[in-house]
Amino acid sequence: MRLVEIHVHPLKSCRGNLVESAVVEAMGLQHDRRWMLVDEDGGFMTGRQHPRLVLLEVRTDADGATFVAPGMDDLRVNVAELKQRMDVQVWGKEFEARCGSDEADFWFADYLGSNCRLVFVGDETTRRTSSDGTVPVGFADAYPLLLIGTASLLELNKRLLQPVSMRHFRPNLVVETDVPHIEDSWRHISVGGVRFENLKPCSRCIFTTVDPKTGQPSHDRQPLEALNGYRRFEDGTMFGINLVARSLGVLQVGNEVTVQP
């Protein structure tokens, strides 16, 4: 098996960057979900409530990020500018993040039509994965990495009148597979020599119905309704697996993928 796609999402709910290589850090892929928007109380804001976020592109470098949105001048934010701290929450878990760019806060408020603040989390994060409590995680919903097999998407698209892309599901790693959902059974995975562990399947929500090309939710709630028909379990509707990195390194598209007991 081979790694066929790598996606990095610098801002939570933004358009993913399809890249040829990525550095694996303890928190997941470098630059992935290090930025986020929060409301005035520190609550996280996502494409579930603000689907236009999926149209927003982010270019990252060692110093910060440039944000590009339809109808807006580009916005540059350097991490060094963010000298304030505030408590933020992701799914009820509170932790500290950096903030303090008034220009960015006004820019995003103009784009979304809602008051918000831009926050950043670095390696100093105190947030940890919910299952084992040891792995640091940034602004991802619960786990640092998400993997999906290509056969799983093919199986879903057989059940849809309008096929969807992998971007609907916002994975980090896409592996070429022959058997739908075979990744559910994997426990320990090596990609180009970098080791990962599968902690649990990924439960899917209404965000999957937002078209990544238009930023519009589908009127028929697809592809979530189709998934509900054959992938609904006691803990939710599952598609893809949540990973943590058990070693560090660099991934390249084309890397060999092996599964270990």
Q: Is the Cβ–Cβ distance between 7 and 175 less than 8 Å?
A: no
Per-residue pLDDT tens digits for 155-201: 999 999 999 999 999 999 999 999 999 999 999 999 999 999 999 99
* Lowest-confidence region among 12-16, 40-44, 127-131, 153-157: 127-131
53, pLDDT greater than 80: yes
Among the CATH numbers 2.40.33.20, 2.30.290.10, 3.20.20.150, 3.40.50.10800, which is that of 3-8+139-260? 2.40.33.20
For the segment 206-215, the average pLDDT, to the nearest whole number, is 96
Question: Could you give phi then psi for residue 72, rounded to 5 degrees?
Answer: -120, 150
* 70/63 Cα distance (integer angstroms): 24
State the distance between the two ends of the chain, measured CA to CA, in whole angstroms.
16
Q: Identify whether the C-beta of residue 184 lies closer than 8 Å to the C-beta of residue 202.
A: no
pTM (two decimals) = 0.95
Q: Is 82's pLDDT higher than 80?
A: yes
- Give me the pLDDT at residue 130, please: 64
Map out the domains of the chain as residue ranges. 3-8+139-260, 29-120
Q: Report the DSSP beta bridge partners of residue 3.
A: 175
Report the half-sphere exposure of 246 (CA within 13 A, side-chain side).
Answer: 13
**The pLDDT value given to residue 135:** 87
Based on the number of CB atoms within 10 Å of its own CB, is 235 exposed (0-12), middle (13-18) or buried (19 or more)? exposed
Q: What is the pLDDT of residues 93-123, one digit of tens each?
A: 899 999 999 999 999 999 999 999 999 998 8
pLDDT computed for residue 205 by the predictor: 95
| Burial of 152 (C-beta count, 10 Å sphere; 0-12/13-18/19+) | buried
Q: Decide which of 198 and 124 is more confident.
A: 198
| Residue 131 confidence class, pLDDT cut points 50, 70, 90 | low
Residue 55 reports pLDDT greater than 70: yes
Q: How high is the pLDDT of residue 84? A: 96
